[in-house]
Amino acid sequence: MLSFLVLALAAQTTVPRHTANIPYAEPRNERQLLDVYAPATGRKAPVVVWVHGGGWMAGSKEAVDHKPAAFVAKGFVFVPMNYRFVPRATMYEIVRDVAKATGWVYANVERYGGDPGRIFLMGHSAGAQLAALLCTDSRYIEAERVPRNVIKGCVPVDGDTYDVPLEVATATARRIGLKQPRPKMGHPEKFGNLAEQRELSAVNHVAPNRGIAPFLILHVAEHTDTSAQAYRLWQALDMAGVPAAIFGAENTDHVKLDRDLGLPDDPSTRQLFAFVDEVLRNK
């Protein structure tokens, strides 16, 4: 009987306390909501802000798979968010949505047991570009009254646009070589002209002594474009003296890599939790 009570109590402390559909902007908009998954008890927990993928045109904060349970079990507050999509919103408006959600977290997460001074920004695919940009170009979060030094780490997952002009050139050369039609909504249509593409590229905001948080860059080892972009970002960070690690996941794909994050036997998850543990030890 005693062992049953112990197990029941342990289960209660690890099941996330889920608060859904919190607006981070006014007026209330379906695309500007976030969720909070928090431990049942405790305070001053480190926080993960999670940005979903979907080509800046699709996706949802609900597509989190194992992540909330895994992070809450490790004592984190986990906050996935929605954001507006192109073409109804510009890429700059999308970036500001993510910054505004981060601002809401900074101002409010303490009420859910989180520590506003220890925030990690993470995201997959399109969300990887958005997370990496906000972690290298602090103007967006600072406009939402978030000090750069509260961002303790950044984990972009299998993004292909840390250097947007490079990806545009790569995709264009491939399309011409294969005699494929031009897409109606490719990266140039989403990101704009060359100057805008450069401005929205994380690599162009990396510089020494800017207080950029440590990075862990996860990517699919067999995916040519995301591997090239991962190494491009890692090189920029490394040259600027920013602590950065890179991990190419084997035997997976773009969707599976995201879906498996949080599983205990997943190699990328082990890398991810080793990274956050190390960052928190050093802070």
pTM for the model: 0.93
Alpha-carbon distance of 51 to 55, in angstroms, equals 12
Q: How far is CA 121 from CA 1, 98, 128, 192, in A?
A: 43, 10, 9, 25
Nearest to 249 by CA among 217, 276, 273: 217
Lookup: tokens for 218? 């996860």
Alpha-carbon distance of 192 to 197, in angstroms, equals 6
The pLDDT tens digits along the chain (283 residues) read 444 443 334 444 567 899 999 999 999 999 999 999 999 998 999 999 999 999 999 999 999 999 999 999 999 999 999 999 999 999 999 999 999 999 999 999 999 999 999 999 999 999 999 999 999 999 999 999 999 999 999 999 999 999 999 999 998 888 888 888 888 889 999 999 999 999 999 999 999 999 999 999 999 999 999 999 999 999 999 999 999 999 999 999 999 999 999 999 999 999 999 999 999 998 7
141, amino acid identity? I
| Residue 80 · residue 35 · CB < 8 Å | yes
| Residue 52 · residue 98 · CB < 8 Å | no
Which residue(s) pair with 34 in the sheet? 22, 81
| Residue 246 · residue 231 · CB < 8 Å | yes
Which residue(s) pair with 120 in the sheet? 48, 153
Alpha-carbon distance of 33 to 26, in angstroms, equals 10
Nearest to 217 by CA among 205, 201, 204, 228: 228
Nearest to 157 by CA among 233, 73, 70, 74: 233
Which residue(s) pair with 78 in the sheet? 37, 48
Domains observed in the chain: 20-281 (3.40.50.1820)
Quote the pLDDT of residue 226. Answer: 97
Helix, strand or coil, per DSSP, at residue 119: strand
Task: Output DSSP code: residue 183.
Answer: P
| Residue 124 · residue 53 · CB < 8 Å | yes
Nearest to 211 by CA among 233, 247, 231, 237: 237
Helix, strand or coil, per DSSP, at residue 43: coil
Nearest to 23 by CA among 15, 12, 31: 31
Quote the pLDDT of residue 14. Answer: 64
Quote the pLDDT of residue 1. Answer: 46
Give long-range contacts, CB 8 A cutoff, 24+ apart: 249-255: 249/218, 249/219, 249/220, 249/221, 250/221, 250/222, 252/220, 253/220, 253/223, 254/125, 254/158, 254/220, 254/223, 254/226
